[in-house]
Chain A
Amino acid sequence: MPYIPNSDADRAAMLTEIGFNSVDELFAPIPKDIQVKGPMAIEPGLTELDLREHMAELASWNRPAGTRPCFLGGGTYNHDWPALVDHLQSRTEFLTAYTPYQPECSQGTLQWIYEFQSMIAELAGCEIANASMYDGASAGAEAVLMASNIKRRKKVVVSAGLHPDARHTIQTYLKHVEIEVVEAPLVDGVTDWGDLVDKDCAAVLVQQPNFFGVIEDLDQLTAQAKQADALSICSLYPVSTGLLRSPGKAGVDIVVGDGQSLGVPMGYGGPHFGFFATSQKYVRQLPGRLVGESLDTEGRRAYTLTFATREQHIRREKATSNICTNNALIALRGCIHMAALGPQGIEEVACLSRQNALALSEALTSASDSVQLAFPERAFFNEVAFRATGGDAAVLRFKNALAAAGIAGVISVSQWYADMDGVFTLACTEKTRPQHIERLAQVAAETFQMEVAL
């Protein structure tokens, strides 16, 4: 049998040695009447060769966006990473270890997590960061829960510019602990807090840049939080800090986000990793695992899991969160990738992504009068919202024409935003090439030309 070393002879010898006649006898504690009667209805096993061929066949049914010109964004971006990341992540000493509960034989994992925490804290502009979360959406939910626990208030205000999945996740998480989620609308592409943020409010949350790629005003966010004595939370696109200021430096209290842009394959949406950064003073309210520096009995520097008394395995129903496993292996990719980028590399990624988005917006709006910037007064980063005068029907035709031309792109936002017929987004990264943009503009010109003719 695959992956089982013992032979029938081994099994027989072991059974004899421990005084049993058959493996079935070992299942005696399971009452006979609830044991299955026959084999499961699952196909017979394949050899490794058959399996590889089967998987290759299924993979051929896919049309991966990342292997062709890709303008899809919406929280997951087609960034590049060095071969180093794949190689090191597949080292089995990282891959097949578990949570570093025994620090003496887990210093490798513990040290890289400490380095990861340090680099995430630097990008976030915060004092501390944890060892990672499941993803950006659940990190956002954990952040508002933490704020509600700190402030002992039962209301949070969340920008409508937060990724729709993240907003839905927050609603699901908060519903059962009876915290009210109020949504601050977007006006002309940016969050309008109005007078929603009051003294009942535990947290104010914005995404930077927001779901439409628009850069939000973090000073507004912190001012809103301050006047209500609430905590400010920013969901951050981490590579944007190559060019934009770190939210923590703007006074934001909690910085979370999805780390996919830091060396993680898009992978049909997961696993990515979430990150969580804040001030030292909130360390006891932090969800998730945390690594700290200490000394061993010989006085040598040593790393260990710390502040475990917050966590479910100690605190049970009184824990700060129910999170147990996080996304360590993916955070390791992020760790290696951040170190590989360095200050100059992350600046290059951020600048190129923004430069390409500028070129894209120029090219597309010049291609046809039927497509314009959705929010022409607003600054965007690497993702741009456009509006097609022909509405969603025109957007769909454009998307299909792009697909026919081998280009992946166009997220139609009206599936999440009722008042946005005809609005779609396109995103760029350092992998976007001028010829990709030219080709996209060409397809736009042809498609929207036909619109006019129609």
Chain B
Amino acid sequence: MNLTPVPLLFEDSRPGRRCTQFAGADRAAASVGLPTSELRDTPPALPEMAEQDLLRHFTRLSQKNYAISTQFYPLGSCTMKYNPQVNEAIAMQPGWAHLHPLQDAGEVQGALKVMHQLQADLAECTGLSAVTLHPAAGAQGELTALMVLRAWLADQDQPDRRTVLIPDSAHGTNPASCTLAGFEVQSLKTGPDGLTDMEDLKSKLGPHIAGLMVTNPNTIGLFEENIAEICRLVHEAGGRVYMDGANFNAIMGVAKPGDFGIDMMHLNLHKTFSTPHGGGGPGAGPICVTEDLRKYLPAPQVVEQADGYALEVPSHSIGRVRGYHGNFMVLLRAYAYIKRLGAEGLRRVAENAVLNANYLRVKLRGHWRVPFDGICMHEFVARPTKEMKAQGVHTLDIAKRLIELNFHPPTVYFPLVVSEAIMAEPTETESKETLDTYVEAMIQIAEEALRGDEALHLAPRNTPVSRVDEARAVKDPKLCFVCG
């Protein structure tokens, strides 16, 4: 980590310094015929920097990050696996990067082939035959699928079915997407075994139910063993079942959601299919649905015709939720990933992700409280013990101490159904040795917590900044440097 403060671009700016330059610009000539009311007097006050200074600025900033390429990054539910370098090299090729979205189909047959094959492969992985690659991210995939559900309900003459059931362990995007799609949310309880409470589900089904959103494996890292029964009950009540595919990497090649009764799901290509997380996107959130819902999918779909591949708008499409055809450059990387792994490699992903998670779970359960201590899938949730809490140690302290010990912490305080949750997802791309060093660190922290070591409250002390005053950022908001 680079501990030296990096001044803001604006602070390093010096009048007259230049990086990018173009020849032939002439403000007077450019202004001819433009309404003077719309012309500006002076150019925007962007920073003025020389090329090398910019290179240093951003290189130094990069050295203030933990990343998969530098640290173990077991951020639960985010699937921080290795991002293959070859996919980045492929995406840089002008044959992909320089395609304009409004070029005729005849000029982009390679791109359409990639999309068409990806649609087919994702359908095969999920057992759901109709796929759209349009949504920009998982949350947008959820929203799109819920709109598909609205359209289907309208066609069934059931527009008054407005309630969607969501387990209380679900990601926040599930209920937020429901609101945007005009549904009301009713929460389902998690039972003592960490699974959806079947009695609670049965009591809440009825003629007002539009559907259910279920994450499987759920956010506790457990496979919903009753999933087939859950789907049957919802169908019987006249609703459809949506699966949040955030955790699909745990079951890829092992079980197909379409086979156990799921009607719709999204996939996070930036999780299961290894496209880089990029500091918070871009992702891609394709959705896969049953054949009867294909006609509602957003525009456009890639279809194969006699003279090649083409874009087509489904007959009852819900419309579009973004510009153009999807995050193509993310789709391209996911396609390359599937090609590289093949059917066998994709199943190995699930096997190794589940093995690595269970390895961590079993090695740590003597030191940490693991509230649902059965076989987990790709991730598991732990929490501090009573004795640790008695020492005033909270999950936040554990996360910060892990940073100090050179690990990115797991997801903390989620899922909400486990207080002080520490949700770790190692992924399949970590070696036994890496897992062992993490186990050692977690055991060391457990011992420190039991004796109330002050290191836990002071951590991290070896990072560019120590704990940040988040309340101050809200009370005295500074969201921009002197602009506006």
21 interchain pairs, CB-CB under 8 A: A4-B429, A5-B429, A5-B431, A6-B355, A11-B355, A14-B432, A15-B355, A42-B125, A114-B480, A126-B484, A217-B37, A270-B327, A294-B470, A296-B465, A296-B467, A298-B465, A312-B176, A317-B179, A324-B139, A343-B43, A348-B25
Q: How many A-B residue pairs have CB under 8 A?
A: 709
**A156 to nearest B CB, angstroms?**
15
Q: Give the segment of A134-142, A198-206, A364-372, A440-448 that binds chain B.
A: A134-142
Chain B residue with Cβ nearest A54: B339
Top 8 nearest A-B pairs (CB, nearest first) are: A329-B278, A269-B324, A59-B95, A66-B98, A269-B101, A45-B342, A61-B110, A92-B69
B349: chain A residues at CB < 8 Å are 4
Most chain A CB within 10 A, of B142, B279, B299, B480, is at: B279
B19-63: CB near A (< 8 Å → 1, else 0) gives 111101111011111110111101111111101001101110111
Contact of B279 among A100, A267, A306 (CB under 8 A): A100
Question: Is B92 engaged at the interface, CB distance under 8 Å to the other chain?
Answer: yes
Question: Is B390 engaged at the interface, CB distance under 8 Å to the other chain?
Answer: no
Question: Is B107 engaged at the interface, CB distance under 8 Å to the other chain?
Answer: yes
**A332 to nearest B CB, angstroms?**
7
Most chain A CB within 10 A, of B20, B73, B93, is at: B20
Given contacts A14-B355, A108-B61, contact A319 B147 (CB under 8 A): no
Q: Is the CB of B27 within 8 A of A243?
A: yes
Q: Is the CB of A128 within 8 A of B319?
A: no
B179: chain A residues at CB < 8 Å are 177, 317-319, 322
Q: Is the CB of A18 within 8 A of B103?
A: no
Question: Is B83 engaged at the interface, CB distance under 8 Å to the other chain?
Answer: yes
B484: chain A residues at CB < 8 Å are 121-122, 125-128, 248
Question: Is A414 engaged at the interface, CB distance under 8 Å to the other chain?
Answer: no
Measured in the bound complex, the distance between the Cα atoms of B276 and A2 in whole Å is: 17
Q: Give the segment of B196-204, B233-241, B358-366, B445-453 that binds chain A.
A: B358-366
A61: chain B residues at CB < 8 Å are 109-110, 113
Given contacts A5-B429, A29-B374, A348-B25, contact A98 B44 (CB under 8 A): no
B322: chain A residues at CB < 8 Å are 134-135, 137-138, 165, 169, 270
Chain B residue with Cβ nearest A166: B323
Q: Is the CB of A343 within 8 A of B48?
A: yes
Most chain A CB within 10 A, of B43, B55, B479, is at: B479
Main secondary structure of the interface of B (DSSP, over half): loop
Given contacts A283-B477, A327-B282, contact A355 B25 (CB under 8 A): yes
Measured in the bound complex, the distance between the Cα atoms of B345 and A337 in whole Å is: 38
Contact of B399 among A87, A102, A315 (CB under 8 A): A102
Measured in the bound complex, the distance between the Cα atoms of B181 and A302 in whole Å is: 37
**A396 to nearest B CB, angstroms?**
10
Contact of B70 among A1, A72, A93, A347 (CB under 8 A): A93
Chain B residue with Cβ nearest A134: B136
Contact of B38 among A88, A218, A319 (CB under 8 A): A218
Question: Is B102 engaged at the interface, CB distance under 8 Å to the other chain?
Answer: yes
Q: Is the CB of A316 within 8 A of B172?
A: yes
Interface size on A, residues (CB 8 A): 206
Q: Is the CB of B143 within 8 A of A322?
A: yes
Contact of B477 among A30, A48, A292 (CB under 8 A): A292
Measured in the bound complex, the distance between the Cα atoms of B484 and A134 in whole Å is: 23
Q: Is the CB of A266 within 8 A of B99?
A: yes
Q: Is the CB of B172 within 8 A of A84?
A: no
Given contacts A30-B255, A34-B255, A172-B318, contact A105 B358 (CB under 8 A): no
Measured in the bound complex, the distance between the Cα atoms of B33 and A411 in whole Å is: 24
Q: Is the CB of A111 within 8 A of B468?
A: no
B348: chain A residues at CB < 8 Å are 1, 4
B92: chain A residues at CB < 8 Å are 86, 90
Q: Is the CB of B466 within 8 A of A296?
A: yes
Q: Is the CB of A56 within 8 A of B19?
A: no
A157-185: CB near B (< 8 Å → 1, else 0) gives 00000010110110111011110000000
Contact of B98 among A42, A265, A343, A348 (CB under 8 A): A265
Q: Is the CB of B100 within 8 A of A42?
A: no
Given contacts A94-B279, A165-B323, A289-B280, contact A408 B44 (CB under 8 A): no
Most chain A CB within 10 A, of B356, B474, B482, is at: B474
B5: chain A residues at CB < 8 Å are 300-301
From residue 311 to 367 of chain A, which have CB atoms closer than 8 A to chain B?
311-319, 321-330, 332, 336-352, 354-355, 358
**A31 to nearest B CB, angstroms?**
6
Question: Is A143 engaged at the interface, CB distance under 8 Å to the other chain?
Answer: no
Contact of B113 among A15, A58, A177, A300 (CB under 8 A): A58
Measured in the bound complex, the distance between the Cα atoms of B84 and A45 in whole Å is: 14
A114: chain B residues at CB < 8 Å are 8, 479-481
Given contacts A26-B355, A26-B358, contact A5 B430 (CB under 8 A): yes
Chain A residue with Cβ nearest B345: A45
